[in-house]
Chains A and B, each alone.
Chain A
Amino acid sequence: MTSSRENPAGTAYTAPETLNDAVIRIAGNSQDGIQSVGAMLARLAGRSEMEVMTYMTIPATISGGPSIFQVHMGSGRVLSAGDAADILVAFYQHSYDDHLESLRDGGVLLYDSTNVEPDLDVLRERRITPVPVPMTSLTIEILGGTGKKKGKNIFLLGLIAQTFRLDMDKIRRLLAEVFGHKDESVLRNALLALEGGYAYSIGDMLSFFTFEEPRLAEGEAAVTKVTMTGNQALAYGAIAAGIRFGAAYPITPWTEVMEQLRCDLPGYRGSFIQTEDELAGIAAALGAAYGGVPAMTGSSGPGLALKSEAISFAVMAEIPLLIVDVQRGGPSTGLPTNVEQSDLNLALHAGHGDAPRVVLAAANVEDCFHLVIEAVRIAHEYSVPVIFLSDQAIATRIEAFPFPDLTSVVRFPGAMPVIADSYKPYSLDRITRHLPPGSRILDGKYPNVTGLEHDESGHPSANSKVHMAMTAKRRTKLEVLAETLPCPEVRGPESGELLLVGWGSTMGVIREAVDRAAAKGACYSAVHLRYLNPLPPGLEELFRHFERVLVVEMNDRDTNGCGQLARVLRAQYALPHVGGITKTDGLSFRIGELLSRIEETVDSRPSAAGPPAEPANFSH
C-alpha cells in the first residue's frame, strides 16, 4: 500500500513493515529528561514479554550538552543496544545533524519541528519518513506557560506509545508510580502531556510501521522481570551478597552505586559512608571487614589506582573485601563519561609486591546482580580481596532480567565472634578464614593482623623460609580456587576457524555478531570470560581447537600489538595464534563495526593462522 498522505520528504512506501524488534534513539540535551523517558520505556518493555536493552551517553558537563538515550526492545533475545535505529527522535538541529547517521535507511525521523529543519533530499534518498511534530509548542499549549516545556519528554512518550501501540494503562500506572510521591500537579501535568502526545495525529505512519508486541507461546509461563541499570543491579547484588558496610568517595560512573547503598544499607542495619578520599574509602572498608562485617569499597579507574597500597595490605593480611571498579576512559581523568575496558591491567596488578587477588568482570546488568554475590562468596571463602569490574556502558544501561530467586541467592557471609581454644590467623595448614575481633581465645594468645611479613601467629618475621612459605600460601589459595571455577561456555562449535574471546560489556555485541555472521554462512564461535584472575580451567585446550583466537576488547593494543586481556592470555598460554581486536573511541562496539573488524583482521594475516603443534611435554 502506498502512503496516501504526503510527508515532507514525499517518501512513499510500497509495503507496510512489521517490526518485532525496534530500536529507538532519542537525541536531545541532558536536561530534556530523555533519560527518564528512556528509562520508562525500558521499564514498560520489561513489564511486557519484551526483552529490553538501553544505551545512553551523557555529557561530562554539569548541566547541558548533547545526550542520547537508545532503547532496543523486542521479542526473543535482545543482546545489545542495537546498531541502527528504526526511529530517531531529534529535539534539536544538532541532534538531527549528529544522529541521522545512526538511523537506518527506511527508518522514521520524528523531530521537533519547532527546532529542527531536516534536509529533505537526504531523507528521500535514504527512504526515511520524516514526521514533524511541534513538540515544544504543543507541550506548552497543553500545559500552559513556557516553564512547562519540561513536559515534552512525556509528550514524546505519548507519541511513542501511539507509534508502537503500547499499553496506555500500563504507562499511566508507571507515571503514577514515578510521580505519585510528588506534588499532585506534577502527576496531573505528566498525564496531560502523555495524553496529548498519544492523541496527536502523526498521520499514516502507522499504516506502514507496526510493532508487534511479543506474546507468550502457548504453555509458556510469564516471567516476572526487574528493570534497572547496571549500577543499581550492583548495589542490590551487594545487599543480596551480604555486604553490610561500605565506604567510598564519589567518582563517575561509580557514584550511583554508593548513592544507592547509602540509602538502602541502613535498612539492613548496615552503613555506607562517604569518606574524605579514596584511601580512606578502602581503609574504612577494610576496618569493617576486619571486624567480620562483609564490606566493600568501589571507584572508577583513578580511584582504584589510589587504593592500590591498601589492596596489597588486604592480600598480605588476608582480609576479605569487595572492590568495585566501574571503568571509564583513561588514563588520568581521561573520558569520565565514556566506556573503556582499560583498567584490566590495574585490576590484575594494582599494588606492590607479589599480591595475588581475584578479578571478576560483569558481562551485563544481570551479572552485576548475580556475579557480585559470587565475588563476595569468593572473598570470604578465600579471605582475599576481589576486584569486580563493571564499566560505564553496563553502569548506565537499563536491562530487564528475571526476578532473582532470593531464597537461593541471598547470602550471609558475615563472621560472628567465636570462642576458640587457640587461633593462628595465618596457619600454613589451611586457607585462612578470617576470625573477627571480639573472639575469645582461651589459650590467651590474641592474633595480630598485619601488613608486615609474619609467621602463622601474625608476628613479624623477615625469615626467608617464612616469607617463601607465606608468599606461596597467598598464591596457592587462588590455584585452589581456579580448580573450582566453571569452564566458560562456548557459543557455537567447539572447534573451527575463529574463536572470539570477550570480557565485560561486549558480550551482547559479540553474540549478536556471531549470530549475524552465522546467518550469512560464516561460522564463528565465542567465549566470554567472567573470571579474569585466576583464569578458569579449559581455556588453553579450547584455544588449541581454533585456527585463530581474537580477543575483542575496548582498550588499546600495547606496543606488542595486544589488548590487555589478549596480552594476559598470550602470556599465560604462550599461544601465538591468540590476537585481538581493540578500539579506543570511547564507545561500545556496534555489531556491524565488529563484523567488519573481524573480517579485516582475518583477511590481513591469513597465513599466520593456526594453533602451534602441541609441545611434547604438554599433558592434559
Chain B
Amino acid sequence: MGHRFDSVQQVRDGLKDVHYLADEGIAGVVFLADRLGKPVLVEGPAGTGKTQLAKSVAEATGARLIRLQCYEGLDESKALYEWNYKKQLLRIQADRNSDAWSEIHDDIFSDEFLLTRPLLEAITADDPVVLLIDEVDRVEVETEALLLEILSEYQVSIPELGTIVAKQIPLVFLTSNNTRELSEALKRRCLYLHVDYPDMDREKEIVLTKVPEVSANLADQIARIVRSIRQLDLKKAPSVSETIDWARTLVLLGIDHIEAQQAKETLHILLKYQTDIAKAAKELSIDK
C-alpha cells in the first residue's frame, strides 16, 4: 500500500504549501499516523489550530475532508449509518402481492436502502479521504465506544449486512478540548498529539503567512507582545487565531509600530474578559 508521505520533511513542506506551519512534533506525528495507519488524537487549548491541522492535511494530500462534529446526544444513526425506512416501506408497498417474503427481506436490507453517515462514508469512499472527528470530548463516554471499532479495525459491522471493511485506510484526526478525560480504550488506539501555543518565532512566521500585508518588524512586535501576555496569569490566554485577528486589525488601522496606547486600545481583540484586559494593560504599560 502506498504511503502519502516519504519523510517528515515532506509533511512539513506539504503543509507549508497550504499555509499551515507545522513544528517538528506535529509533522512527526502526522507522518507516523500515515505510516502506522493509526488515528491521531489532537489535544490542546482552544484556537491553536487543531481542526485546521486536519483541514490542511486534507488539502495538502488532495484528499476529501469528511467531518463529524460531535455533540452531546450524538448516536449511531447520526454518526455511522441509518436505514432509510421510508424507502423500505415504499418498496414493500410497491409489490405487495407479488414477491415472496424472503426476497423482499433480503432486498430491503441492501446497500440501496442504507443512508451512510460520516463514519461509514469515510470507510466506503473510493477516493482518498481525511476523516475529522471534531470535539470528541463532547459525546458521552458510552457513545465513545461507537468509534472504537472504526478506529482500530477500520471497519463497521452492520447486523443485517455484515462487516464493511475499508477500501483504503483514511487518515483520521480526533480533536478534543479536554473538557473531560477520554476513555483509556480510545486513547490506546490513537497516537497522541498535544498542540500548544507556538513559540515566538513560529508565531511570527504564522502571522507573516496568514497576514501577508504585515511588515516583518510589526510581526515580530506582535509575537513578542503576545508571548508576554501569555505569561500572565489570565483566564483565557490569547489563541493563535486571535493573534492573527489582532495583526489584521493593526494592518487595517495602518499601524506599523505598536505604541503602548495603541496596544491598550486594541487589546480587546486578543482578550475576551474584562479582568484579563485590565490586568494585561496594567502589566504592559505601568509595570517596570
Are A and B bound to each other?
no
Interface residues in chain A, defined as those with a beta carbon under 8 Å from any beta carbon in chain B: none
Binding site for A on B (CB under 8 A): none
